[in-house]
Amino acid sequence: GIVEAEQGDNGELTIRLFKRKYILSEDGEMVKTKGAPIDVPLNSWIDVRLDMPEDSIWKTKVSAASMDNPDSQPE
């Protein structure tokens, strides 16, 4: 499938999944485009990587933990 992500003004993250659709261009090349929207299949998942703001709870806790134990790694 094709995944599309969008972040709203309120910090909300919307993830959409579409069927993969191929179209034959005028030059005879196959072009991959979005097809119909679909649900994530039961035997599949979507991995999401987020960049957290510096003042987020996560970064605050990780920073505090690393100060308490410099050899620790975040999970």
* Whole-Å CA distances, 55 to 25, 33, 58, 61: 47, 38, 8, 10
Strands (E), the chain: 2-7, 13-24, 30-37
Which residue type, as a one-letter code, is found at position 45? Answer: W
- pTM metric for this prediction: 0.54
What does residue 64 show for φ and ψ, rounded to 5 degrees?
-65, -40
pLDDT recorded at residue 73: 55
Per residue of the chain (75 residues), what is the pLDDT tens digit?
788 888 888 878 888 999 989 999 999 999 988 989 999 889 988 888 877 788 888 888 888 888 776 665 555
Domain residue extents for the chain: 1-38
